Amino acid sequence: MSKLLLLLLWTWTSLALVRVPLKRMRSIRSQLRADGVLEEFLKDHRPEMFNRRYAQCFPLGTPSLRLGRSSEKIYNFMDAQYYGEISLGSPAQNFSVVFDTGSSDLWVPSTYCVSQACASHRRFKAFQSTSFHHDGRTFGIHYGSGHLLGVMARETLKIGSLTTLNQEFGESVYEPGSAFVNSKFDGVLGMAYPALTEILGNPVFDNMMVQNVVEEQIFSFFLSRRTSSGTPEGELLLGGKDEELYSRPINWLPVTAKGYWQIKMESVVVQGAMTLCPRGCQAIVDTGTSLIAGPTADIINLHQLIGATPTNIGEFLINCARMSSLPHVTFVLGGTEYTLTAERYVRKEMLGDREFCLSGFQAVDIVSPEGPMWILGDVFLTEFYSIFDRGQDRVGFAFAKHPT
């Protein structure tokens, strides 16, 4: 009887539902402002200039917004991204990581890293951990403006009350350039499918499923619109979904390719003006991208309709006085319309006593067998609670319950 009791107790405690508070990292525009770069560009821009038409935003082939395609896009990655705390090793060593559904690898800086970026972040000290297993193999994750190099290892990983044993991860030893120097996060924890891994081994959530430490093979994100003193800015829930944070029903969409969290999108409708991807297109649901990204030709047309003006620092300016007249942008997914008003797709920034408005859309060209792809990043995901179901290979969306 005592053995049965212990078995039942172990089974009950081995399954968990864990909430991870998410914080928004500092905007890269804050750093640009500190350096005087943004003010220098904006000081001569008058509101009347924002209405002009233009022939091209970015040339075809502009790199993706996702982490690592180019330094400019890394800035956008850092602009409105969410990160939380994990620990590695025994005793635990704490790190802040971006929980990224657009990649599959876990990496943190190594104590042996020689780059400036590592010097300003917490670094993993393998020699202090009794549970560390050296792998010996090397890995490289390539970026448009450089690359990340490191060595592979296995460790005990803890996220909240969840413990995953022998988790494969990377210790970065070389992070060239300045892309990561001012970031709030130490590393990245990828939550996409194993097909995207650069580091050999199972991604974190795959190991959680294999080791049976989550209640359901589901994780979900709630990203808040703004900071509230004393409360987290968002939440990652491992092992389920939180019905207090969204309004039913949930609209489930099957994953169309098991690499990214890739789904089919029927169309993008600009109110009373234009329909983009009218015959349907593929979309990536990516918490690791801050903006909404689409093919260059579509984003050019969209920016023309909302009167956005390109800048030489990768931002698109909009006349704030025109906010109330800007069209709604609706994404049709699984027969359900997800509409963003200008208040939701335009980001506001104060420089001194002047307010500037910036577009939440960006041009990205991703080639796939299914045709051009879109990226539904945080501008979209802030408005809609997102559920990632590995058990049934589907993504769910529901309207997020934001405090008024």
Which residue spans within 239-360 are E strands per DSSP?
Answer: 246-254, 257-258, 261-265, 267-270, 274-276, 281-285, 292-294, 309-310, 316-318, 329-333, 336-340, 346-351, 354-359
Give the residue-averaged pLDDT of 132-137. 91
Q: In terms of pLDDT, which residue wins out, 120 or 38?
A: 120
d(CA 329, CA 345): 8
Instruction: Supply the pLDDT for residue 111.
Output: 95
* 79 catalytic residue (yes or no): no
d(CA 10, CA 374): 44
Q: In terms of pLDDT, which residue wins out, 25 or 286?
A: 286
pLDDT band per the 50, 70, 90 thresholds, residue 25: low
Instruction: Supply the pLDDT for residue 114.
Output: 86
103 to each of 99, 164, 203, 216, how far by Cα in Å?
9, 19, 9, 21
Nearest 5°: CA angle at 39, between 311 and 324? Answer: 65
Token reading at 260: 């990214």
Nearest 5°: CA angle at 373, between 372 and 374? Answer: 135
The percent of residues in the chain predicted with pLDDT above 70, rounded, is 78
Q: In terms of pLDDT, which residue wins out, 222 or 226?
A: 222
* 100 catalytic residue (yes or no): yes
Is 16 part of any domain? no
Q: Which residues, in sequence order, are bridge partners of residue 331?
A: 268, 338
Instruction: Supply the pLDDT for residue 70.
Output: 19
d(CA 137, CA 71): 27
Is 25 part of any domain? yes
* Lowest mean pLDDT, pick from 27-36, 59-68, 240-249, 269-278: 59-68
d(CA 304, CA 184): 34
Q: Is 401 exposed, middle or buried (0-12, 13-18, 19+ CB in 10 A)?
A: middle
Is 330 part of any domain? yes
Judged by DSSP in three states, 368 sits in: coil
Q: What's the half-sphere exposure (Cβ side, CA atoms, 13 Å) at 75?
A: 14
Instruction: Supply the pLDDT for residue 89.
Output: 97
Give the residue-averaged pLDDT of 231-248. 86
Total domains in the chain come to: 1
pLDDT band per the 50, 70, 90 thresholds, residue 72: very low
Answer for the pair 130, 90: CB distance below 8 angstroms, yes or no. Answer: yes
Is 2 part of any domain? no
Name the catalytic one among 79, 100, 298, 378.
Answer: 100
pLDDT band per the 50, 70, 90 thresholds, residue 81: low
pLDDT band per the 50, 70, 90 thresholds, residue 87: very high
Q: Is 277 exposed, middle or buried (0-12, 13-18, 19+ CB in 10 A)?
A: buried
Name the catalytic one among 286, 365, 378, 389.
Answer: 286
Instruction: Supply the pLDDT for residue 43.
Output: 47
What does 310-332 look like in DSSP terms, one character per residue? E-TTS-EEE-GGGGGGSPPEEEE
- State the DSSP H helix or E strand holding residue 38, giving kind and residue range, or none if neither: helix 37-42
Is 5 part of any domain? no
pLDDT band per the 50, 70, 90 thresholds, residue 23: confident
Q: What is the mean pLDDT of the chain?
A: 80
Is 114 part of any domain? yes
Is 15 part of any domain? no
**CATH number of the structural domain spanning residue 144:** 2.40.70.10
Q: In terms of pLDDT, which residue wins out, 198 or 12?
A: 198
The parent domain of residue 116 ranges over 21-400
Give the residue-averaged pLDDT of 103-120. 91
pLDDT tens digits, one per residue of 348-376: 877 778 888 999 999 888 878 888 899 99
Is 181 part of any domain? yes
pLDDT band per the 50, 70, 90 thresholds, residue 299: very high
